Amino acid sequence: MVEEVGPALFDRAFAADPYPAYAWLREHAPVHRAVLPSGVEAWLVTRYADARRALADPRLSKNPGRHSAAEHATGRVGIPGERSANVMTHLLNIDPPDHTRLRRLVSAAFTPRRVAEFEPRVRELTGRLVDGFAGRGSADLIGEFAFPLPIYAICDLLGVPAADQEDFRRWAGMMLHTSGKRGGVGRAVKRMRGYLGELIHRKRGDLGDDLISGLIRASDHGEQLSEEEAAAMAFILLFAGFETTVNLIGNGMLALLRHPEQLARARAWVAAGDEAALTRAVEELLRYDGPVELATWRFANEPLTLGGQRVARGEPVLVVLAAADRDPARFADPDRLDLGRRRNPHLGYGHGIHYCLGAPLARLEARAALGELLRRLPDVRIAVDEAELRWRGGLIMRGLRALPVEFSPEPKSVGDGVSAV
């Protein structure tokens, strides 16, 4: 067992604000061996240069089977419940050449054109969701907005029928609100995986213009994508594209509400229709308090040195994106939120061959969401003492349980409530 040194990690105070602890680690122990809440020991990489190299280092495998402690590899790394639900073969935990093949097939279906064409639907969803509470004068921006938006969006993109989308919303809620209880997450994963398998089987006989149909077409022309792989790919697109967007919107709004001068800048850009400035603002929110705190698991294929520390073969490595993106060696005044920051090569969505495939969709959703909220709720403010805000448990993601806000109610004629979106 490793002896802990330095600041406390993974307790409630750390969850509320991990950045002072990460600053200490960057300065004193940039590659630090820590005991995680699960009991697994792993190396935490906190400096930007080390993090960027580690994310692209082929000696660090994504395959949990390479974990040196076999008892941990069966369920304490990766997505909770993914083994029992048979969704292991996806982009987050495989290496080349399998990763190269699967990413090429998924990329053929998940194109920039498809994401761009989806923008009107995303803007329609954001508008209808805000309609549901704008006339009331108060809302929980997580439960009523940031949570349902990406679920409905990714279901539409995947081609999940409207009649089934409430099931997905319920399963996603189980994943989000029982993140510290592995059994609940595992059950939700299993239900989603089972449904997606059935949906893919049905769609083979009735292809449409959705993402799952695109995955099937890609597999039917040349390279093979099995039904099992297609279901795992659809699941990971949903899983990775859901909670990251919830957190990006929630964390981003909290950061703006805590920085009135930056909030005023963002409002001015929204009013002027300055999409370029709003795009830069989203990038800064990704850097400042992004949705993914730690990159997903990596395991040393061979002995190697990271930041002056010797990592043995099979040992887990976790790249701390949140720490790297506040590294003063790479970012000027890194603890300051600056929506106009021009040079912003943050690692919020990773780096290298495992760079997040769904990043364009998440950015689109964040721009649309923040724009709609700032346009429709001109005096929005936090409705509780900030000490009452709570962060969800979990190792990889960073996000609020709820974000209660209040604002001047919008005239009733603008929106009478949200029904089926």
pLDDT recorded at residue 223: 60
Q: How confident is the model at residue 419 (pLDDT cuts 50, 70, 90)?
A: very low
Give the Å distances, CA to CA, from 131 to 126, 187, 270, 416, 421. 9, 33, 18, 7, 11
**What is the DSSP secondary-structure string of 341-408?**
-S-----TT--GGGS-TTHHHHHHHHHHHHHHHHHH-TT-EE-S-GGG--B---SSB--BS--EEE-P
Give the count of alpha carbons within 13 A of 37, CB side only: 14
pLDDT recorded at residue 325: 98
pLDDT recorded at residue 415: 45
Round to whole Å and give the CA distance between 195 and 168.
Answer: 9
Most confident of 69-78, 276-285, 387-396: 276-285
**Which 3 state secondary structure label does DSSP give 172?**
helix
pLDDT in tens, 134-185: 999 999 999 999 999 999 998 898 899 989 988 888 888 787 665 545 556 7
Question: What is the bridge-based pairing of β-strands 304-306 and 309-311?
Answer: antiparallel
Round to whole Å and give the CA distance between 368 and 111.
Answer: 19
- What value does the mean pLDDT of the chain take? 86
| Closest among 385, 131, 101, 358 to 242, alpha carbons compared | 358
> What is the average pLDDT across 322-342?
97
Most confident of 61-65, 100-104, 113-117: 113-117
φ/ψ (deg, to 5) at 273: 70, 30
Spatial contact of 237 and 211, defined as CB atoms under 8 Å apart: yes
User: Computed over its alpha carbons, how large is the radius of gyration of the chain?
Assistant: 21
Q: How confident is the model at residue 68 (pLDDT cuts 50, 70, 90)?
A: low
Q: Does residue 421 register a pLDDT over 60?
A: no
What structural domains and CATH numbers belong to the chain? 12-414 (1.10.630.10)
pLDDT in tens, 285-329: 999 999 999 998 999 999 999 999 999 999 999 999 999 999 999
Q: Does residue 72 register a pLDDT over 90?
A: no
pTM of the model: 0.89
Round to whole Å and give the CA distance between 234 and 53.
Answer: 29
